[in-house]
Amino acid sequence: MKPPVPSAGVGPRPALLRWIDHHRRAASHSAQRLLAEPVQSLFTCFAVGIALALPAALWALLQNAEIIAGNIQTTARFTLLMEQDVDIEGARLTAETFEIRDDIERIEVIDRRDALVRFAEDIGLFELVDNLDSNPLPHSLQLHPDASLTPADLDDLAQVLTAVEGIEQVVFDTQWQTRLQAAITAFQRLTGGVGVLMVLGAVLILGNTIRLGIEARREEITVIKLIGGGDGFARRPLLYAGLWSGAVGGFFGAILVALLFWSLAAPVDRLFDLYSVDSRFTGLGWSGALALTAVGGLAGLLSAWSTAFIHLRRIQPR
Amino acid sequence: MINFERVSKRFEHHDALRDVSLEIAAGEMVFFTGHSGAGKSTMLRLLMLLDRPTSGRLVVDGNDVATIRGRRIARYRQDFGIVFQDHQLLFDRSIFDNVALPLEIAGFHPRDIGRRVRAALDKVGLLGRESANPIVLSGGEQQRVGIARAVVARPKILVADEPTGNLDPGLSAEIMALFEAFHRVGVTVIVASHDLALISRLRHRIITLKEGRLIGGVGP
């Protein structure tokens, strides 16, 4: 054994460099630890992935429902039946008064004769129509409201139109749209609630894993504290373990959602076609998958932080 | 360097230390001895801030340790190198990583860490074993890794609690020789040991405790 050599080399570095270095080490050490126990780590990540996949799938379904609802809304139109004694000139004048309104995008006047021809074409009974003594149909206006109007706005507009002189009847059913909107709102709340619960579930799953990790590393944490490592130094690898497990879990969740939507795509696209919805069934997409990974990572960080906060102070050197 | 001023420590059912006053100069090497339960470990625990005095004052490097709390405790402990009776090595990592731990905590550059760890392992005669797991080492070798870890960050004070407790006389003498080597380069060394035969052969102050009282401080 040789005697100690005199001091040589550089001392501790400035706080910022030290801090960065601690983080770099903690990040890679915790990743190595997770890889050293692949089965256990995969288990945790899958549990987190499943917990996050459910609200993510609901959210993506919601996006599709909103696309459909928006699509239907833009096709909404009012039919204004004029009173029988209003002639075609009167109908045109009424139409002109509507053109200055912001909430009306387009308006067309339909002559009663054209309407009868269209009616005859629709039912295929030209003879019957030809034999009519007089045209029972009034002149009418087809009114396309601005696409940005909500069901409530449409209701208000219908009220306004009904009060206009010369208009016999406003044909527009806003009720089903209101119902659709209410259903979507309910679905939004459900997604939000399930989302909060499931993220909480993921936090608890990870928290438990990290608590077990702390127990397994009790000796190491004790030694670290004895030789001058602070709570921060002992906590950092745990935070990274939480971050990695959560982020990988979130990514697994995104894959699960992608698989689910891939199996749903064909039948739902057919449904879209049947309802003449000009859109494709869309999943989370890359940005959604990235967001889910980030949510997982944040959940992991949160759970690691809170677990470490509670359990690390309990470990004190004896 | 270290001043115990009328320090007492009372645990629930007994007095571990009673009215102990003691001064240890910078660069000095001292032994604490006495039967188990005499208060040796309590002295070291107070020094490491693992316990606080019930009464009296403990001043280290000019600071009353009562003022060192919270985050400052970790920083305070970085000035110490500690050697444990059961060496407290971590068997989930290599010898190198065990010894490097205090340097990582203190924030050394990776390049310096490599150099210093090898220098410390060289001092304890284990250079070339750094990639092995400490579990494959003998008891004496493990203790030497523990010593390398204690001195790698060049602490001002080296504290050892029964460092030779589990070793045979030959290995114990080697370990003590290492401590003396650090003392010679200016480190303050405090060793708690009940191996009176061994420590009385070395020419350093021996502080004897009995039932929590100081009963003698024999000079070198």
B105/A227 Cα distance (integer angstroms) = 9
Tell me, yes or no, if B134 comes closer than 8 A to chain A by beta carbon: no
Tokens of B201: 């052969």
- Contact: B88, A21; criterion CB under 8 Å: no
ipTM, 2 dp: 0.85
Nearest to B102 among A15, A228, A316 (CB): A228
Alpha helix segments (H runs only) across B9-91: 40-47, 71-77
**What is the pLDDT averaged over residues A252-261?**
93
Main-chain dihedrals φ then ψ at residue A108, nearest 5 degrees: -130, 145
Alpha-carbon torsion, ordered A204, A307, A292, A59, to 10 deg: 40
Which residues, 6 or more positions from B99, have their beta carbon under 8 angstroms from its beta carbon? B117, B120, B121, B130, B145, B148, B149, B152
pLDDT of residue A179: 78
* A9–B115 C-beta distance less than 8 A: yes
> How far is Cα B39 from Cα B187, in angstroms, rounded to an integer?
24
B116 vs A contacts (CB less than 8 Å): 9
With a cut of 50, say whether residue A3 has pLDDT above it. Answer: no
pLDDT at residue A215 above 90?
Answer: no
Pair type for strands B2-10 and A167-171: unpaired
Question: pLDDT-derived band of residue A122, with 50, 70 and 90 as boundaries?
Answer: confident
Residue B205: its pLDDT value, please? 92
pLDDT of residue A214 exceeding 70: yes
SS3 assignment, position A222: helix
Taking an 8 Å cut-off on Cβ atoms, the answer to whether A22 and B181 are in contact is no
pLDDT tens-digit map of A289-308: 999 999 999 999 999 999 98
| Cβ separation A227–B78 shorter than 8 A | yes
**Band of residue A42 on the pLDDT scale cut at 50, 70, 90:** very high
Say what the pLDDT of residue A4 is.
44
- What is the rounded distance in angstroms from the CA atom of residue A185 to the CA atom of residue A128? 48
Report the residue from B105, B109, B184 with minimal CB separation from A13.
Answer: B109
Angle between helices A38-74 and A285-312 (to 10 degrees): 130
What is residue B219's predicted lDDT score, i.e. its pLDDT? 59
> What are the tens digits of pLDDT across the range A69-119?
776 655 677 888 888 888 888 888 888 888 788 888 888 888 888 888 877
**Looking at chain B from residue 44 to 73, which residues have their Cβ under 8 Å from any Cβ of chain A?**
48, 50, 71, 73
Helix (H) or strand (E) holding A75: none
pLDDT (0 to 100) of residue B101? 92
Mean per-residue pLDDT for A133-153?
Answer: 80
- The tokens for A216 are 């397994």
Please report the DSSP string for A238-258 in residue order: HHHHHHHHHHHHHHHHHHHHH
Q: Which amino acid is at A41?
A: S
| Euclidean distance between CA atoms A176 and A170, whole angstroms | 16
For β-strands B188-192 and B29-33, DSSP reports them as parallel
Q: Nearest-5° angle of CA A96, CA A108, CA A178?
A: 100
pLDDT band at A141 (very low <50, low <70, confident <90, very high): confident
Measured CA distances, A313 to A135, A218, A234, A317 (Å): 90, 11, 10, 10
Interface of A with B (CB under 8 A): 1-13, 15, 17-19, 21-22, 25, 219-220, 222-231, 233, 316-318
Nearest to B107 among A6, A13, A222 (CB): A13
Q: Distance, in angstroms, between B104 CA and closest chain A CA?
A: 7
A258-276 pLDDT, tens per residue?
Answer: 999 999 888 888 877 876 6
Tell me, rounded to whole angstroms, the distance of Cα A12 from its chain centroid.
Answer: 48
Q: Which residue has the higher pLDDT, A99 or A207?
A: A207
Beta-carbon neighbour count of residue A164 at 10 Å? 13
Q: Please write the tens of the pLDDT for every residue from A163-206.
A: 888 888 888 766 677 777 788 888 889 888 988 998 898 889 88
Extract the tokens encoding A81.
């039946």
Does the distance separating the beta carbons of A12 and B108 come in below 8 Å?
yes
Chain A residue closest to B144 (CA)?
Answer: A1
Express as a percent the part of chain A with pLDDT over 70: 91
* pLDDT tens sequence for chain B (220 residues): 899 999 999 888 888 889 999 999 999 999 999 888 888 888 999 999 988 999 999 999 988 999 998 888 988 999 999 998 888 899 888 999 999 999 988 888 888 899 999 999 998 889 989 899 999 998 889 999 999 999 999 899 999 998 888 788 888 898 899 899 999 999 999 999 988 888 888 889 999 998 888 887 655 5
Tell whether the model's pLDDT for residue A8 goes beyond 60. no
Residue A1, pLDDT score:
44
pLDDT tops 80 at residue A278: no
pLDDT of B165? 82
